[in-house]
Amino acid sequence: MQAMVEIADARKTYAGGFEALKGVSLDIRKGEILALLGPNGAGKTTLISCICGLAVPTGGAIRVGGHDVVDEYRRARNLIGLVPQEVNLEPFERVWNTVRFTRGLFGRPRDDARLEDILRRLSLWDKRDAKINELSGGMKRRVLIAKALSHDPEVLFLDEPTAGVDVELRRDMWEIVAGLKAQGTTIILTTHYIEEAEAIADRIGVIARGELLLVEETAALMARMGRKELRIELSSRLDAVPAALSGFDLALEEDGWTLVYAYDRSAERTGIARLMSAMGDAGIVLRDLRTHQSSLEEIFVDLVHGERSEGAA
């Protein structure tokens, strides 16, 4: 099946010469939730802006629903709902009009029942006659979401929808996202909260310095997180992992003083007892043992700092 969003070698160099996207390739399946993680300045908003037609890519090609975002801008844009990172609302407009206006902009027929449903789900119904400048920051964020949903988009982009919002809105947002996914909407969100990505995303992409470092099923990433390491400090230095231990998933640290054994924490047999006895047979004497578990947070930090790039997409 054709991907809903196809990104092929997308590049963006801003007018000043800054290269914000250095060739990003990614296909986003219809109906999936993809979370983009990455530090400040990684290029997340730039990528979204290029997909949504707010910025023109300087290289590569992007299609949404099969439509090129530059050559067929209107067709592509019509399929997209965008919740931008920055609040950009008319301060003196009323909530109801703001949302209805957006639906109209996209050429959708008036459907007040639909808009009422959206406003109710976002707990904005009571505020429908309030002016934007009478709303709190979190409420303004809800209005942005209502606007993005007002024209029933097939693809929804949420650029840090839960930055600075309270727990309640975060929960509401997750619920709305789950509901939209159930209806077949494709959702791409950026977040700085790893737990959030874990909780709602089917796949997680990590972006840093304009490059996509990894895209992986959340479950697979979690399985990786389940990996645990046994660090074995040796009483004498080794030059290489001894042949007698080649059957184990062992790595020798560069200095030759530590063997690292990676095992699956959830496996019935960790193989540690077997390893210990094999080491004894091989005449290797150990000085100390430590276990270490890598978290998604660590995997993320390592990736972003370029220390662990073997999983790169």
Ligand X SMILES: Nc1ncnc2c1ncn2[C@@H]1O[C@H](COP(=O)(O)OP(=O)(O)OP(=O)(O)O)[C@@H](O)[C@H]1O
- Judged by CB under 5 A, does residue 45 bind Mg ion? yes
Find the Cα–Cα–Cα–Cα dihedral 219, 224, 225, 227, rounded to 10°: 140
Q: x/- string (CB under 5 A) for Mg ion, residues 59-98? A: --------------------------x-------------
Amino acid at site 312 = A
* Residue number, 44 or 142, with CB nearest to Mg ion: 44
In the complex, the smallest distance separating the C-beta of residue 26 from Mg ion, rounded to whole angstroms, is: 17
How far apart, in whole angstroms, are the C-alpha atoms of residue 262 and residue 232? 11
Which residue's beta carbon is nearest to the bound Mg ion?
A: 45
Structural contact between residues 44 and 119, judged by C-beta atoms closer than 8 angstroms: no
How big is the site for Mg ion, counted in residues (CB under 5 A)? 3
Q: Which amino acid appears at position 277 of this protein? A: S
User: Is residue 49 involved in binding Mg ion (CB under 5 A)?
Assistant: no
Q: How many helices (H) and strands (E) does the chain have?
A: 10, 14
Are 221 and 303 in contact by the 8 Å Cβ rule? The answer is no
Residue 57 interacting with ligand X (CB under 6 A): no
Binding of Mg ion by 191 (CB under 5 A): no
Do residues 87 and 68 touch, judged by C-beta distance below 8 A?
no
Q: Report d(CA 215, CA 256) in Å as an integer.
A: 33
101 binds, among ligand X, Mg ion, none (CB under 5 to 8 A by kind): none
- Contact region with Mg ion (CB under 5 A), list: 44-52, 57-65, 91-99, 276-284: 44-52
User: Interface with Mg ion includes 162 (CB under 5 A)?
Assistant: no
Which residues of this chain interact with ligand X, rule CB under 6 A? 14, 16, 18, 20, 38, 40-46, 85
